[in-house]
Structures are given as C-alpha cells and as structure tokens.
A and B are shown apart, each in its own frame.
Chain A
Amino acid sequence: MTARNPLPGYAALFIAIAALPLLGVYPIFVMKVLCYALFACAFNLLIGYTGLLSFGHAAFLGTAAYVAGHALKVWGLPAPLGVLLGAACAGAMGLLFGLLAIKRAGIYFSMITLALSQMLFFVFLQASFTGGEDGLQSVPRGSLLGLDLTQDLTLFYVVLGIFIAAFWLIYRTVHSPFGQVLTSIRENEPRAISLGYDVDRFKLVAFVLSATLAGLAGATKTLVLGFATLTDAIWTTSGLVILMTLVGGMGTMIGPMVGALIIIALENKIGDLGQALANLTGIAWFNGLGESVSLVTGLIFIVCVLAFRRGVVGEAWALWEKLRAPRAS
C-alpha cells in the first residue's frame, strides 16, 4: 500500500502553477481554472469523500458571486471582506439546503438539491440586486493590504494563495477523524449509524463546508472576472462541476483540479476544434460545435460513466499501482 507522504508532491505542483505566468501563460486563464478547480474540490468533498451527489452546487457558486459582487460594487467593501462575506452567505445557504436535503438519502438527495437550486435561480432572476438577465457587471477589484489587485499578476498570486489555503483545509478535513467518519458513511452508512455516529450531523457539516468553499470559489471568480451572472447559478453549472470531478477522478485530491483544467480548456477551444473538424471532414455542421458545447460535454459524461468512472487521476493511479505491483512482490 501507499503510505508515502503526498505533501511534497502537492508543494511541487503549486510551485509549478506559481511559475506559469512567468512562462507566458495568460494569468486570467489560470485564475479561472483555479476558481473552478476550487469549486470542483469543494464538490468532491461531498461526492468523493461522503458519497453525496449534490446536483445544486451552482446555487452556492452563484450566491457567493452575487453577494461578493454586490458588496464590492454597491457597498464598496474592501476585496477580502467582500469575498469572505460571499463565502459566508454561500455557507448559510448550504445550511438551509442541507437541512432539507439530508432528510432524504441517495437519489432523492440529488433531486432535492437540484430543485432547491432551481428555486434559487428563479429568485436571482427576479430579484433586483442581481441585475436580472444582465447580472452584475464591472465589479471593482480593489486592493488587499496595500497590494493593488487590478494588476493581473498580483491578483494571480492572491488567488493561488486562496486556493492553496482551501486545498489545505480540504486535505486536513479528509485526513482527520472527521473525514474518516465521512468516508465510513460513503462506504457503509447503516454500519456508521450502528457504530453510534450521528450520520445526519456529519453529512450536514460536510455539506456546509462544501457549500462555503464553493462559495469562496464563486466570490473569487467574481473578483477575477469582474462580473456575476445567472450562468453562475444555473443548473447546467451544477452539471459542469460534476463533470469536472468525474473526468478528473472522484475521491482524489488532485482529480478535480485536472478535471477543471480539461473542461475549461475544452470550453475555450471547442469552437476552434469544431472548425478544424469542419475543414478536415468538409461537414459544415461542425462549424456550429462552439455553439453547442453541451453536445460534447454530454458525450464526455456518457463515456466517463460507462468506461472511465475513476477519472484521469484515478485511472493513472491504478495504472501506476499495477506497474509497481510485480516489482514489490
């Protein structure tokens, strides 16, 4: 088995990410990926480590995006306060959702979270503070402890710092006794109950934590991109974060990051890909591929569920173990 300490590996990964803008990678792109990676890591805390499939996580991303946007733009709060307020509101929303959804297990849990997030979507659509169909535009970035966040590179290191802090929190949670109980709920819930654990309370805490971190991702995203729109709160975004986690590898620390990178890069490049295919095959229909991203993401969903349930990182890990095993024995 693997008792090796993964922390040096994570440290190397983050140093590599920190060096990306110096190598000429567009910082906004990396920041966007980091925000979605955090979103997916937060989601993974539920699906990967507790076995709960939330189909409404866009609600938390959207709540925090709107609250942070409103706090920064209308109230003029400093950037860190706005982001924290957004995350806190998402956590409060998570508490409300969790109290209702945890009353039912399994597939009902997913349907309830989806329905509640749809309800919130309609509230955002009609409320005045969200700007309706237009959303909140040109949200100012402000500054943090004297650092000017309007500089992309400065903001990049702040976002990376936020991500590392959240990643560390998730890592600690998963590897704590609390995290072990969560895993036992995933593996065998009746047994966890019979051992005397108040399973619903554990699920609720995990849900609120996951919602808060998803909110942190949403608030940070508003800070980076400067806008919050209904896209953040719509149910397809909940589907997107599921896809990222599934593609990357559920129940792995790195998987959701890899998945977020793959899906965001795909979304950015899919128009070009469609055009290349159209030129290659001569079928004009491919030119419209950029307009129907959902077609491609849907296909990836189907392939992943049927043949690739462990995701990129999970499969790579399994392959690595397989290669090592004969030598070890």
Chain B
Amino acid sequence: MTDFFGIPLPALLGQLLLGLVNGSFYAMLSLGLAVIFGMLNIINFAHGALYMMGAFLAWMGLEYLGINYWAMLLLAPLVVGALGIVIERALLQWLYKLDHIYGLLLTFGITLVTEGIFRSFYGVSGQQYAVPEALQGATNLGFMILPNYRAWVVVASITVCIAVWALIEKTSLGATLRAGTENAKLVQAFGINVPRMITLTYAGGVALAAFAGVLAAPILQVSALMGSNLIIVVFAVVVIGGMGSILGSILTGLGLGVIEGLTKVFYPEASNTVVFVVMAIVLLVRPAGLFGKEK
C-alpha cells in the first residue's frame, strides 16, 4: 500500500474526491450567486433554501409520485426556476433602487419561510434518497475504489458549470447579459427587454441551485437545514473568489472543496473552519478576492 505523509493513498484520494464533490456544489451555487448579483444587485440568501428545495423535490417526486432521479434532475430545476420567477416578480423587483442590504434581508426572510415550511412538515431529521440504479456501485481503478455516483456528480457539475460559462461568455445572449450587468439602461435603450432578462437571470440562477440540490440528494441527508449551512460557506467562497469572473467562481469553488477534503485527512478538527480561515487570509493579502477587481 502506498503511503502519502503517513496517509494511505486510497483514503487520501477518497477524501479528495469527496472534496471535489463538495467543491462542485460550492462552484454551482457561487456561480449562480455571482450571475444573480451581476444582474439584480442582490445577494440571494435564499440560494441555500432553493438548493434544499431542489433536493426535497427530488425526494418527494420519488416518494409520492414515483418519478425517478433522471426526470427530477430536469423537473426540479424547472419547478424551482418557476418559483424563482414568482419570487422575482412578486418580491425582489421592488428593491432594485434600494440599498443592497434590503435584498439580502428579504431573501433571508424567504430562506426562513422556506425552511420553516419544510420543517413544519418533515422536522429536522434527514430523509434518505437512494442512489439511482445506473450509478450504484463502484469502479476499481487499481489505485483507488471510485464510487460511481460521486464521479457522476463531479462530471455533471463541471459540465454544467462550463456550459453556463460558455453561455455567458461565448453566445450573443450571454453578451446581452454581460452588457446588462455593465449598464442596464443602455441595453434597454437598444430595445432589449431588461426586466424580463433580469427575471430570467434569477430563474436560471436558482434553477442551477436546485440542480445542485438534486445531485446532492443521494449523497447528503435531505433535510430542511441542509441549505443554510451550505450557503454560509458559499458566501465565504464568493468573498474569496470575488464575483467578477465566472471561471473564477468555478475554480474557487472546486479548489476550496479540495482544500476542505485535504483538511479532513490531515487535521479533521479544522475541516469545518478551513474555508473561513482561507477567507481571512485572502482578505489580508488580496482584499478584492482572488479573481475580483478593486473598484
């Protein structure tokens, strides 16, 4: 058995993979936060709650309606995206002219309500969601045992992240979006329906969170509180990476997941806090964040 600083290699690689899995969730959520912040000037605290809702929808779909994982992987983001449209039209749109803090507070309120509803029906204990049949089991790579589902989560997340990056950076729709982020009034003057674009941006961002939630359902316990713990870490990720760059968000998310995984191997007591420690160091060295621009 190969050792690496006294840690057996398979154990190390296993934690590394788990770190990558968590990092994928960080990447998808911070990506959505960044895109939403760019268009709406709102930090969407509800992102964690909508991620939780995605996971719950997957579980509920199977439990009550017998809809399988693959269908929910598509359906849950659509449902949450539709809810996002409702939230944006009914609540958020009244806040764009106000201080940023009101957006944070309103979405914090939405988080509390969403969590409260799920808690009142399902309590705080987690629900189990079985790994879909096609992805059960593990593949022996020789140097480690690779659980198929975890590999799928990493591949699917990175694919989706790159697709979002390509959509925003390489298509004309993305160009409009970026222009809207820079100067919404000017884009509107060119005849583009900016309010609709804002609504769809929010819907797309939260759909991404729900997608991450469905991916997470078979790995983590599906519970009402699974989102709020995650969103705080994602905030730290956003502070570390800065919200200026899409690719930056993805890389920061994945990187911090890996760092967290490695901490679990070498110094497990600090695994909960390591992301925040990294944030503190980055603030001291590069206050604008790794990929951020100083205003």
| Alpha-carbon distance A129/B113, docked complex (angstroms) | 34
Which residues of B126-155 have CB atoms within 8 Å of chain A's CB atoms?
A: none
Which residues of A247-278 have CB atoms within 8 Å of chain B's CB atoms?
A: none
Contact, CB under 8 Å: A309 / B102: yes
Q: Which of B174-182, B206-214, B273-281 is found at the contact surface with chain A?
A: B273-281
Contact, CB under 8 Å: B104 / A107: yes
Contact, CB under 8 Å: B100 / A106: yes
Contact, CB under 8 Å: A301 / B105: yes
With A246-B105, A295-B113 known to touch, is A107 a contact of B273 (CB < 8 Å)?
no
B residues contacting the other copy or chain, number (CB 8 A): 42
A116 CB-CB contact with B under 8 Å:
yes
Contact, CB under 8 Å: A294 / B115: yes
Contact, CB under 8 Å: B280 / A116: yes
Contact, CB under 8 Å: B283 / A104: yes
Interface residues on A, range: 35 or more
The 3 closest A-B CB pairs, nearest first, are A295-B116, A298-B112, A301-B109
B244 CB-CB contact with A under 8 Å:
no
Which residues of A283-298 have CB atoms within 8 Å of chain B's CB atoms?
A: 285, 288-289, 291-298
Q: How far is the CB of B108 from chain A (nearest CB, A)?
A: 6
Contact, CB under 8 Å: A122 / B272: yes
Which residues of B20-49 have CB atoms within 8 Å of chain A's CB atoms?
A: 37, 43
| Alpha-carbon distance A40/B110, docked complex (angstroms) | 22
B287 CB-CB contact with A under 8 Å:
yes
Q: A104-B239, A110-B104, A299-B113 are in contact. List 20 more A-B contacts (CB 8 A).
A: A55-B104, A100-B283, A106-B100, A111-B235, A115-B279, A118-B276, A119-B277, A125-B272, A292-B117, A292-B119, A292-B120, A295-B113, A295-B116, A295-B120, A298-B111, A298-B113, A301-B109, A302-B109, A305-B95, A305-B109
Residue of B nearest to A126 (CB): B269
A324 CB-CB contact with B under 8 Å:
no
A-contact 0/1 string along B47-77, CB 8 Å cutoff: 0000000000000000000000000000000
Contact, CB under 8 Å: B235 / A115: yes
Residues of chain B within 8 A (CB-CB) of A119 are 273, 276-277
A230 CB-CB contact with B under 8 Å:
no
| Alpha-carbon distance A292/B118, docked complex (angstroms) | 9
B284 CB-CB contact with A under 8 Å:
yes
Q: Report which B residues bind A (CB closer than 8 A).
A: 37, 43, 91, 94-95, 98, 100-102, 104-106, 108-117, 119-120, 228, 232-233, 235-236, 238-239, 269, 272-273, 275-277, 279-280, 283-284, 287
Contact, CB under 8 Å: B119 / A305: no
Which residues of A215-252 have CB atoms within 8 Å of chain B's CB atoms?
A: 235, 239, 242, 246
A108, A125, A246: which contacts B239 (Cβ < 8 A)?
A: A108
| Alpha-carbon distance A286/B239, docked complex (angstroms) | 40
Residues of chain B within 8 A (CB-CB) of A301 are 105-106, 108-109, 112
Q: How far is the CB of B283 from chain A (nearest CB, A)?
A: 5
Q: How far is the CB of B230 from chain A (nearest CB, A)?
A: 11
A103, A296, A298: which contacts B283 (Cβ < 8 A)?
A: A103
Contact, CB under 8 Å: B116 / A294: yes
Residues of chain A within 8 A (CB-CB) of B280 are 100, 116
Residue of A nearest to B242 (CB): A108
Which residues of A273-329 have CB atoms within 8 Å of chain B's CB atoms?
A: 285, 288-289, 291-302, 305-306, 309
A25 CB-CB contact with B under 8 Å:
no
A112 CB-CB contact with B under 8 Å:
yes
A139 CB-CB contact with B under 8 Å:
no
Q: How far is the CB of A49 from chain B (nearest CB, A)?
A: 14
CB-defined A-B contacts under 8 Å, sample of 25: A103-B283, A103-B287, A104-B239, A111-B43, A111-B236, A112-B279, A114-B232, A115-B279, A116-B279, A118-B233, A125-B272, A242-B105, A285-B120, A292-B117, A294-B113, A294-B115, A297-B109, A302-B91, A302-B113, A305-B95, A305-B102, A305-B105, A306-B94, A306-B95, A309-B98
- Looking at A103, A111, A291, A296, the one whose CB has the most chain B CB atoms below 10 A away is A111
Contact, CB under 8 Å: A298 / B110: yes
A74 CB-CB contact with B under 8 Å:
no
| Alpha-carbon distance A313/B112, docked complex (angstroms) | 24
Residues of chain A within 8 A (CB-CB) of B119 are 291-292, 294-295
Residues of chain A within 8 A (CB-CB) of B101 are 47, 53, 107, 110
| Alpha-carbon distance A224/B178, docked complex (angstroms) | 55
Residue of A nearest to B33 (CB): A111
A123 CB-CB contact with B under 8 Å:
yes
Contact, CB under 8 Å: B110 / A302: yes
Contact, CB under 8 Å: A302 / B106: yes
Residues of chain B within 8 A (CB-CB) of A125 are 272
A107, A235, A296: which contacts B100 (Cβ < 8 A)?
A: A107
Contact, CB under 8 Å: A112 / B283: yes
Contact, CB under 8 Å: B279 / A107: no
Contact, CB under 8 Å: B117 / A107: no
Residues of chain B within 8 A (CB-CB) of A300 are 109
